[in-house]
Amino acid sequence: MVADAHSWIEALTFVLAKPVAPADSPERQARLLDKLAREGTRFVEDALASLPGDPGADSARHAAVRKHRTELTRAGLAAYDAARFTSAALAGLRAGHGDPDATWHRLRMLGHALQRTYRSWAEYAAAYDLGRAVLAGGHARAAADRALPTVAWGLDLQVAGPKARARYRRSRCPHCGGIKELPSQTAYVYCDFCGELCDFDFERAQAASGPAELPGRDELERRLARARAAGDRATYRRLQAQQYAQLATVPGLTSPRIADPAYRDAWVAFMADSVTAFMFDDEAQRLEAAYQACCAAVVLIEVKQQPRVVPASFPPVIDAFLARGERATALCAELGLLAGHPDRLTPAMWRHLERSLFVQPWLPMLDEATAQATLARLGLTASFDAAPPGKRTRLPCHQCGASLEIVAGARRVTCEHCGHRLELVTRQR
């Protein structure tokens, strides 16, 4: 697949009459690529801004810009610039300039952007000819009888890496070692053997929290923001308790034990206390801001109508998440809050739940190498089993070992030998 992606990128230069020569040193080569990457957009902006008010006063270039104003506003000189940039980058690689991995990654990102901008090789070639004509003063001619590349325009360029294999969440109880067999009715997953809290189901939480907004939620959020800005910790904690008391009424979102008044009161108190402690701790807020910045910096692309993470952009998120999580756990331990949780959480169990909740929504967007590295870093490899690749795959039952067939699109599988349920996190496609 990587070889195919490289061939696709090399094909971008088929529109050129002659290749762009590399610079004579790595430093000048880097400057050349930076210049090529930015000059086209600036030219189009200047050309559009300088159009005469009277079309009768147009030069040949102005006439070409005016005629193709819509397309130039939409895509600029993307095709023309991409062809020249790719040619120069490939020439630089052949001359030994630059880091090959970094250059190829940059070219794959460029190629993916072109696939989102144009629908075919023919449209890309026409856009290149338009750019060439505009830059040549409106007089350049399109190349005649140009043979289009045979490689598919929509080829997956592996910008996000090979998609992660399907993974099944295996809820192993940290208290007794049992593996969850029966489907959980709530986001809080309890062990079938000893009854202790053992996992958190993000998908079920999403389904439970999807209905209409809780009454007065917007006003409550505004009051929370005012209390925090004023440094009014007591009011903030009281409002958080009010918010979590509302959430306790949402079916399926919290623990099945929430109907017990003693459990509900203890859960509401723990959540209000822990959130308040985190929100009023300067170091925790610094780490929270760093985490949010890392999440915002993640590069997402679309592959087969699904969002995928560009691998190099994800490791900082894990680092920031772990740092934030350690501070939150330390605060709860320092203040003795975990002892008040009605499920008798230990710091280790708290970390496990937080990490499981964090990784579940990310897994479907990661490539296989990043998924493996992420689960290992979080200590969750044993909690998410990977199925073999393929449209139909086989996976051993976690409970009895029987071989189960997994079909494309499956969300969960019930073993017909022992009744054990396997929950799918990253789905087969």
**Cβ pair 51, 66 in contact under 8 A:** yes
The whole-number pLDDT of residue 6 equals 93
The whole-number pLDDT of residue 180 equals 82
Hey, what amino acid is at 147? A
DSSP 220-256: HHHHHHHHHHTT-HHHHHHHHHHHHHHHTTSTTTS-G
DSSP 258-320: GGSHHHHHHHHHHHHHHHHHHHT-HHHHHHHHHHHHHHHH--EEEETTEEEE-GGGSHHHHHH
The whole-number pLDDT of residue 416 equals 63
SS3 7: helix
- In terms of DSSP H, where are the helices of 76-212? 78-94, 100-117, 121-135, 202-209
Phi, psi of 185 (to 5 degrees): -90, -10
Helix or strand run (H / E) with residue 421: strand 421-426
Give the whole-angstrom CA distance, residue 13 versus residue 390. Answer: 34
The whole-number pLDDT of residue 194 equals 87
The whole-number pLDDT of residue 170 equals 82
- Residue 346: partners with Cβ closer than 8 Å, 6 or more residues away: 338
- Which of 279, 254, 12, 278 is closest to 121 using CA atoms? 12
The whole-number pLDDT of residue 16 equals 93
**Cβ pair 44, 79 in contact under 8 A:** no
- Under-70 pLDDT residues of the chain: 1-2, 40-41, 138, 140, 209-214, 387-393, 407-412, 416, 419, 421, 424-429
Q: At what angle do helices 315-334 and 261-279 cross, to 10 degrees?
A: 120
Give the whole-angstrom CA distance, residue 183 versus residue 189. Answer: 9
Give the whole-angstrom CA distance, residue 322 versus residue 354. Answer: 10
- Residue 323: partners with Cβ closer than 8 Å, 6 or more residues away: 287, 290, 291
The whole-number pLDDT of residue 428 equals 45
Largest CA distance in the chain: 85
Statement: the pTM of the whole predicted model exceeds 0.95: no
DSSP 358-401: HHHHHGGGSBHHHHHHHHHHHT-GGGEEEPPSSSSEEEE-TTT-
- Residue 274: partners with Cβ closer than 8 Å, 6 or more residues away: 328, 331, 332, 337
Query: Tokens 């490689």, residue?
Result: 151
Give the whole-angstrom CA distance, residue 128 versus residue 231. Answer: 58
Query: Tokens 């206390």, residue?
Result: 273
Could you give the C-alpha distances from 332 to 12, 281, 346, 349, in angstroms and in order? Answer: 56, 12, 10, 13
237: which 2 tokens? 């904690």
The whole-number pLDDT of residue 407 equals 63
What are the counts of helices (DSSP H) followed by strands (DSSP E) for the chain?
15, 10
Domain chopping of the chain, boundaries: 2-135, 167-211+250-426
